[in-house]
Chain A
């Protein structure tokens, strides 16, 4: 067994176990953190394939941004695990059907193409890095699918903002940053010159 194989089995074991833990642990924060671990392990496996760009992007996008927001929400919610468990039996058949379909599709790909014949990513030794090659393919041959995917994401963003944005409330007060910034000392402080005679008089009064 070479070192690479050893590393591969190590990471795939961690990946499988953490993926299982995501759906079995009771604490939802733990579940989110296990999902992070699963993403990280799969990134490591991609790294073994010399797919540096894909591996790092997986970490950057899913671990660095998506899961942070996810964790954010999970921590704020007070999830009652008992109530989640109640629906388990009801949703089980649907889950099994989806799982079977996905497994079937994977099997279909492997059977028709043959596991060995699946093309591997070109290594770094080929002309240029595979980052550059990936970019070239994405922006030439697959430009339309790529742009359509981007537009769909944009529509999602706009829809989310449209759903949550209620417009300006007429009676609410808003801060105007430009006015805040342009505030000068004269607007806030008034220097009053008091004749010293007043102080003397006060002393006399007290005496």
Chain B
């Protein structure tokens, strides 16, 4: 029969899942606030400032507004798939966090193939979008879904090859091992030897999450709101939650793969010795993640939206050839000893 110990492990795991998911949900709430504030100041506005001090309660006002709204089912929509789609988007976005190491011991599931796991799960998010577009029985929604599917598949290839370079440099396929391979100060992190891959990965990450300047799947000016045009209330909120959770995930992964994760940038600086600044810890990981999260907002305020054919050209004719070349370059760098493997 089922023994007590297994049950205890199960309860403990569920508790840990909540410890991860609740902060992520809160971060998503305040990420939307930060987005409006940051873009506001970049455009010489002040952003939300009415609800609570400095507008700090704005996310909660938004959430309650969305929760109390009616979920409208369009005529002739496929009821089951219409309601399933938001869940399909949110599920992978949260499940990927299971293998993210927050520090050298803070990790829910320390599996060996964790990098592949993350790649597999992020590629599944597209189902929610396609199913939403089809089940809505709307032309705009379907167009958005088509664009999104094509875009995600295209950029996944470049992303996969960029990750291959990281694997070659680290000699390990688990996220924890990849971070440990980057030990020894800011210039030992993989962003330097794999600089083009770092850029390609982040661009692909922005494209995979359908964010500006790659947000043609939503494309307000052409197809209204794309795949979620027919969604209202809580169902729309779930799409929103998934999109922002994915952005945070991509930021966290970039921090882990290219910026040394929880490692300190000032390791091996003789003056600092063993002070706070030189010790690795979750604080460094969070700081790096927040930096990359800020980049997402910065991009949105800076770049105009790409045209659809430009997106396809960039993905297939620029990024993919570049990554294929850099796989060879990275292998040579390891062979010549420019990258120390498993330091």
List A residues at the B interface (Cβ < 8 Å).
Answer: 3, 29, 33, 36, 52-53, 56-57, 59-60, 63-65, 68-69, 71-72, 75, 124, 129, 131, 175, 177
Are A60's CB and B116's CB within 8 A? Answer: yes
Are B126's CB and A68's CB within 8 A? Answer: yes
Given known pairs A52-B113, A177-B313, the reply for A59 and B130 (CB within 8 Å) is no
Total A-B residue contacts, Cβ distance less than 8 Å:
66
Are A53's CB and B113's CB within 8 A? Answer: yes
How many of B's residues come within 8 Å of A, CB to CB? 29
Scan residues 131-160 of chain B and give those whose CB is less than 8 A from a CB of chain A. 131, 134, 142, 146, 149-150, 152-153, 156
Which residues does chain B contribute within 8 Å of A3, judged by CB atoms?
2, 6
Which residues does chain A contribute within 8 Å of B127, judged by CB atoms?
36, 68, 71
Check B302 for interface membership: any CB of A closer than 8 A.
no
* Cβ contacts B111-124/A at 8 Å (1 or 0 each): 11100110111011
Q: Quote the shortest CB–CB distance from B265 to chain A (angstroms).
A: 30
Are A60's CB and B120's CB within 8 A? Answer: yes
Q: Quote the shortest CB–CB distance from B126 to chain A (angstroms).
A: 6
Check B173 for interface membership: any CB of A closer than 8 A.
yes
Given known pairs A53-B113, A124-B112, A131-B112, the reply for A60 and B119 (CB within 8 Å) is yes
Given known pairs A33-B131, A63-B120, the reply for A68 and B112 (CB within 8 Å) is no
A3–B4 Cα distance when bound, in Å, is 12
List B residues at the A interface (Cβ < 8 Å).
Answer: 2, 6, 81, 111-113, 116-117, 119-121, 123-124, 126-127, 130-131, 134, 142, 146, 149-150, 152-153, 156, 173, 309-310, 313
- A72 and chain B: residue at smallest CB distance: B149
A64–B157 Cα distance when bound, in Å, is 11
Q: Which of A33, A63, A71 contacts B124 (CB 8 A)?
A: A63
Are A71's CB and B130's CB within 8 A? Answer: yes
A169–B310 Cα distance when bound, in Å, is 21
Which residues does chain A contribute within 8 Å of B116, judged by CB atoms?
53, 56-57, 60
Given known pairs A63-B120, A72-B146, A129-B112, the reply for A29 and B134 (CB within 8 Å) is yes
| 13 A–B contacts, CB within 8 A, in A order | A29-B81, A33-B131, A52-B113, A64-B119, A64-B123, A68-B126, A68-B130, A71-B127, A72-B149, A75-B134, A75-B142, A129-B112, A175-B309
